[in-house]
Amino acid sequence: MFWGFGVAFHSIEAIIPLFLAALNAPKIVVGSVAGLFTIGMAIPQIFSAFYGSRIRNLKLATVLIHFLLLPPIFTAGFVFAFMGPHGPNAWILYYICYILFILAVGIVMPIWADFLETVHLAERRGSFFGVSFAGGSIAGFAGGFVVNRLIDKPDPVPYIGIGFLIYSACILGAILIFILYRSRPRPAPKRVHSFAQFTLVLKGIMKSDHNFRNYILSRIILTANYAAIPLYAIHAHDKLDFHISEAGIFTALMVVASGFSSFLAGKIGDRFGHKHAMVISFLAYLGALIAALLAETLWHVYLIFIFMGVGKGGFITSAMSLVYEFAGDNDKKIYFALIDSLTAPFVLVAILLSGFFISTGSIPPVLTVIGFILIAGILALIFLTKEPRTLREVPIPREPQP
């Protein structure tokens, strides 16, 4: 709930795009924030997974490594809250902090994933993630209204900086609560002695696990969604010219929808399969895109973010659960790292192409094309990927034999 309340002040769907637009950042920069988050997380994950395999005290490592998240977001908050940079290039200061923040998230993710495996029951994995993310969303709902009141000012920029400082405090609180977690001991990790051996393990997974390859293919097609997400708030603002403080309401609606969706996706995934839950989440994302194209009033914009919340909540729960199911008895960090690392280049392509066509035209045609790509990705997920719990392929060796 600390995470959920804090992220309301730094949401990539509403706050960050509108903040960058207020700083007069180029539209290709504004449109990059969701995709850049995925790319930035992917860059360090392979290395983090490799070195994470050598960790002995997983709980201590999880607590300490989360402190990497604090300096970038605290710096951004302090600079914009108290130093008030303005001018045509002020957005660059924030963008640098944003990049450093997401690189830190990429370092944290594989180790955090290992830690989570020691604090939940595998047979109720979906429910665990669903309840956990739902709790965060309840707090995020409250945070969204605080954001709305905080930045409802003629010049919202310094107040958004104060919001970043609140996010920093929430991150610190969440890190300290990790200390209270009880976790099961895990077997001593089998050490891969060199990075070359580690890459052979990655190649072995991709060569042997055909269903996982099909899942990656589906996710590659669906990366077009990352190019669309930041455009909704900007497109709606261009049409309706609402105050930036509405981003707080958007966030509140999104996170409460995300909370319900996380809970339901966990229940659906545990009973019917997490792939089915993921299909539902991307259908919701498609609904958000259609609502954005048809939006004529502020109420229609609220609907966009409700759809986005349903998509986001369902995706987080089902994607996390699918990683554990694909990995089976193998190293979960490797599968986390593989998914993000293999999809990241395509996220970059989606960002660059959408940015190019927006700069030469307008947003609606770009969103229309992205909509058709999302339909193709959903169909690929339905027909090419089997539920991993129903298909156990030949186990992947954890390290190659000499």
Q: What is the CATH classification number for the domain harbouring 50?
A: 1.20.1250.20
pLDDT score for 193: 54
pLDDT score for 176: 92
pLDDT score for 401: 47
pLDDT score for 192: 53
Q: Does residue 400 lie in a domain region?
A: no
Q: Does residue 189 lie in a domain region?
A: no
As given in the structure block, the two tokens for residue 320 are 């996390």
**Average pLDDT of each block of 10 consecutive residues along the chain (402 residues)?**
89 88 86 84 79 76 91 94 80 93 89 78 69 78 88 89 95 91 67 66 82 94 91 87 85 85 84 90 96 91 93 88 82 77 88 84 89 96 87 45 46
- The reported pTM is 0.77
Q: Does residue 399 lie in a domain region?
A: no
Q: Does residue 190 lie in a domain region?
A: no
Q: Does residue 175 lie in a domain region?
A: yes
pLDDT score for 24: 87
Q: At what angle do helices 210-222 and 332-360 cross, to 10 degrees?
A: 30
pLDDT score for 402: 44
Q: Does residue 395 lie in a domain region?
A: no
Q: Does residue 233 lie in a domain region?
A: yes
pLDDT score for 395: 42
- Overall number of domains in the chain: 1
Burial 223-250 (b: 16+ CB within 10 A, else e): bbbbbbbbbbbbbbbebeebebbbbbbb
Domain coverage including residue 26? 2-183+195-389
Q: Does residue 402 lie in a domain region?
A: no
